[in-house]
Structure 1
Amino acid sequence: MGEECVSGDFTACVRREFPALAHKAYLDSACIGVAPLRAVRAVTDLVQGMQYCPAESGTAMHGRLNELRAQARPLVARLIGADAADIALTESATHGLKIALESLPLRAGDQVLIPDLEFIQMGIMWRQLKDRGITVRTVPHDESGRVTVDAVRAELTRDVKVLALSSVQWTNGFRADLAALSELCRRRNVWLVVDAAQHLGALPLNVRQTPVDIVVCGGHKWLCSPFGTGFLYLDPAVRPRLRRPLAGFFAARPPARTWGESFLRPDITPLQDYEFSEDAYAWETGGTGNYPGAVGLSASLSLLLELRPQRIETHLRTLTDYLTEGLDRLGLTVVSPRDPRHRSGIITFSTGRAATDTALMGSLLAAGVAVSVRFTSGVGGVRVSCHLYNTLRDLDALLAAAEEWQRRPRRNGRPPAHTRSQPRSAAARIIGQRALIDALDDDLMGLITARGGVSRGIRRSRLEGAMARTDLAREREIVERFHHRLGQDGTRLALELLRMCKGDT
């Protein structure tokens, strides 16, 4: 499938990877992305395999799981133009930001700048450094919802040691001029900390071309990864100046070739001096990791890399141009920047009032169009997230539902507010239910394929052991189990499964 995505049609590849979205207008990736089929299968295969512990021992299995988790680092590095040694795996953007805050060499009297449009988490976390004598100030946005380089420059006093910002803002999709901010921070000797959670997966970023000291990113939004995944990038030039956080032994170098081999040494003790790497993985927690999440992240990243970030950006530009034109026709106010240099996959629009924005969102949700409403510092509205799996048909559904909402009878010049108690239309419910059926069918087909692979492995083992190709007693046991759960239909299903898997049980 990967080769087809590299050389084949973009739309066809995306359709294969996201079959559950064929009949659903999901435009809310800035909140939660949708996992591709390969990520779902990777997680399922790992979890199902754990019931067999396929390695020869628990120690060997744990080592294998660590190796699988580590495979995500070079894929992250490729995505942002870094080296694998520069990447630490985290559970979220928040986790990465926490490590950054604890690692930066800040002192009492130092100041941190953040835009006033920032995601709430950014402000909450930096404000907690107040007891260390560190203050946080905001850079104001202009009348068009931008945080300009000039505005940042105006706030850069001698006490400012950190500029922390989201490269794409969560409410209006404003895309910062990272190149100019990077140059400014280097001239002023200011740390540049970037939250790329609303950026990566939708837009390219190359840290060699645009130097950034620290990048944090969660996986569950535009990277389309399972929850509990993310990464932290640490510029190798600045790592020697960072405090390394407390970490477990997996973040240290083993005294032997592997930690499994180290445990065999009689001289190992808990209080001996262990050496930590200068690579970014030394900033990880160093304990047992989120292995299913890591393999899911790797699978999702492999898809993004095959489709190519530049091609995804071009696709999103087509979608956002189309949406902006449609919103203009309806007379709805586009809140997001129109300048292509500051555009992202997020297009936010407004009716002019927060209450009616919320009412319109409710109407869109009832029509089967998934969007959000977000505000920060007075900027926001109905937020639409256009991602690689979205199509012009999704946007037509949104525009048609918005136009229908505008045509409803008005009270005091305003459309009636939508409440969550209003039932969704039967057609909208059917669309959602069909999407679920499609997803379940894909799971079933994936499980059948996996079952066939296990059956072939059993056949090879029986042949190597000079046993009969088929164990009739085992087949009878399978049929009886299916019959017990599903009756006669279960019997027929079991026999068909045995046939498809060639009876190699």
Structure 2
Amino acid sequence: MIDIDKVRADTPACEQVLHFNNAGASLMPRQVYEAVKGVLDLENGVGGYEAERRLADDLQAFYSEFAALLNARPDEIAFVENATRAWDMAFYALPLQSGDRVITHGSEYASNFLAFLHQAKRRGIEIDIAPSDESGQLDVAALETLIRPATKLIAITHVPTQGGLVNPAAAVGQVAKKHNILYLLDACQSVGQLEVDVKAIGCDILSGTGRKFLRGPRGTGFLYVSNAIVEKLDPPFIDLLSANWTTNDQYELAAGAKRFENWESYVGGRVGLMTAVRYARSIGIAVIEQRVSSLAATLRDALCGEAGVSVHDLGRTKCGIVTFQKQGLEPQSIAERLRAQQINVSVSGVPYARLDLGERGLSSLVRASVHYFNTEKEIERFVEIVSSLIPT
């Protein structure tokens, strides 16, 4: 069980706001804030390079903490400044050529799909869209029928930005392994709220962020690349950390996932994100997943019972993201009116998920995303206020 009083005491902002925007950026625990602040204080006192030397143990712990979180090896983990750049570093490192095919799903995030389009224009790759099943999640059987000799990559998003859907990542991994196809998983919205085991899922590459359900600082991300495939990847750019300058005209890429890192990085963010992972692991990811799922189901059911409110989450398995509309009110207006009452939500629109929301005829949705420090009383208050909103 989670000690709710303790985790809320560790999160002083809970006293000021009702925060249902954890899929955007969660509230940092006090321990994470103090870790980041401590680094900045140290840098201010002794200098940046000197501070980094003193923080060597914490910086090294970043890799071991993430390895334990994801069931990986420390040398399979890289720190990257955000989830999109982590995903890009891996995707653009793949040896894709003209005529090679990539399979994705209609729930894919905008930045990822833009990269597919970019490489289609630059290199001539082809994009295949796996259909959804009757629940709205990726249809694994249909995905397998799309595989052909030119298929080189399966790239999907575990939890899409625009709803509570959890795609069947492990089932996709079985298909990828069966056909010996590389598998790239965007776990930006899943790590921190769901148990994510790279071995059980079977992905070769996984990317994520610090600021969302891991409750880390902004400007932080991470990348997992399996040692089994890392030598097949050629990073889109390198520096003196990601490669060694061996002779005047030769270099060697760094071993493991280090080849995707930059020499210059946000040291405070790295220490803060390591602290956030350590904090989450001290609570237990399994119990976090259970509580988040339960709170979201309670919120979803309560909203469904309100007149004029429609919930739009897809999938057989759902997570901590709840999306909805209210008749007569634009989602952006709802978000602004909630914000005026110290309630944080966000809005998901077509520009972020064109294939999915466009297909469903939805221009935008209110996105309320809960975390384990939220409470049932907050859900009651939230639903009451949503119910009280009327068109102006």
Structure number with greater Rg is: 1
Cα distance in 1, alignment partners of residues 2 and 104 from structure 2: 41
TM-score normalised by the chain length of structure 2:
0.89
Deviation at 1:236, TM superposition (A): 1.4
Q: Output one character per residue of 1:308-359: Cα deviation in whole Å (capped at 9) or x when no partner.
A: 11010111122012112211221422211373xx211111123367x54343
Name whichever of 392-401 and 244-253 sits farther off.
Answer: 244-253
Cα distance in 2, alignment partners of residues 124 and 234 from structure 1: 22
Q: Using a 3 Å threshold, how does the CA distance of structure 1 residues 193 and 352 change in structure 2: closer, same or farther?
A: farther
Q: Is the 8 A contact 1:68 1:291 kept in 2?
A: no
2:29 aligned with 1:39: no
2:285 maps to 309
2:386 aligned with 1:374: no
2:386 aligned with 1:402: yes
Cα distance in 2, alignment partners of residues 108 and 149 from structure 1: 26
> Which of the numbers 11, 16, 21 marks the counterpart of 2:4?
11
The structure whose RCO (Cα within 8 Å, separation 6+) is larger is 2
Structure richer in strand, relative to its length: 2
Matched letter for residue 290 of structure 2? T
2:227 aligned with 1:236: yes
Cα distance in 2, alignment partners of residues 59 and 29 from structure 1: 33
Q: Using a 3 Å threshold, how does the CA distance of structure 1 residues 48 and 151 change in structure 2: closer, same or farther?
A: same
1:389 maps to 373
Q: Output one character per residue of 1:62-114: Cα deviation in whole Å (capped at 9) or x when no partner.
A: 54455543321111111111110110110111111121122212111012122
Q: Is the 8 A contact 1:369 1:397 kept in 2?
A: no
2:359 aligned with 1:359: no
> Which of the numbers 98, 107, 110 marks the counterpart of 1:108?
98
Q: Give the match's secondary structure for 2:79.
A: strand
Matched letter for residue 155 of structure 1? L
Q: Give the match's secondary structure for 1:15.
A: helix
Q: Give the match's secondary structure for 2:96.
A: coil
Q: Give the match's secondary structure for 2:313.
A: coil
Q: Is the 8 A contact 1:145 1:172 kept in 2?
A: no
Cα distance in 2, alignment partners of residues 52 and 363 from structure 1: 43
Cα distance in 2, alignment partners of residues 136 and 338 from structure 1: 23
2:317 aligned with 1:336: no
Q: Output one character per residue of 1:224-269: Cα deviation in whole Å (capped at 9) or x when no partner.
A: 1111111110111111222245422233579xxxxxxxxxxxxxx9
Q: Using a 3 Å threshold, how does the CA distance of structure 1 residues 9 and 345 change in structure 2: closer, same or farther?
A: closer
Q: Give the match's secondary structure for 2:78.
A: strand
Q: What is the aligned length?
A: 380
Structure richer in helix, relative to its length: 1
> Which of the numbers 136, 149, 155 marks the counterpart of 1:145?
136
Q: Using a 3 Å threshold, how does the CA distance of structure 1 residues 272 and 68 change in structure 2: closer, same or farther?
A: farther
Q: Output one character per residue of 1:381-403: Cα deviation in whole Å (capped at 9) or x when no partner.
A: 22110112211122112100111
Q: Is the 8 A contact 2:164 2:315 kept in 1?
A: no
Cα distance in 2, alignment partners of residues 88 and 53 from structure 1: 27
1:259 maps to none
Q: What percent identity do the matched residue pairs reach?
A: 26
2:339 aligned with 1:349: no
Cα distance in 2, alignment partners of residues 157 and 94 from structure 1: 28
2:95 aligned with 1:118: no
Matched letter for residue 189 of structure 2? Q
Cα distance in 2, alignment partners of residues 59 and 358 from structure 1: 44
Matched letter for residue 115 of structure 1? H
Structure 2 unmatched runs, 5+: none
Q: Give the match's secondary structure for 1:71.
A: helix
Cα distance in 1, alignment partners of residues 106 and 2 from structure 2: 41
* Structure-to-structure mapping, 1:72-87, within 5 angstroms: 72-87=62-77
Cα distance in 2, alignment partners of residues 65 and 274 from structure 1: 29
1:99 maps to 89
1:171 maps to 162
Q: Is the 8 A contact 1:145 1:335 kept in 2?
A: no
Structure 1 unmatched runs, 5+: 1-7, 255-268, 409-414, 417-505
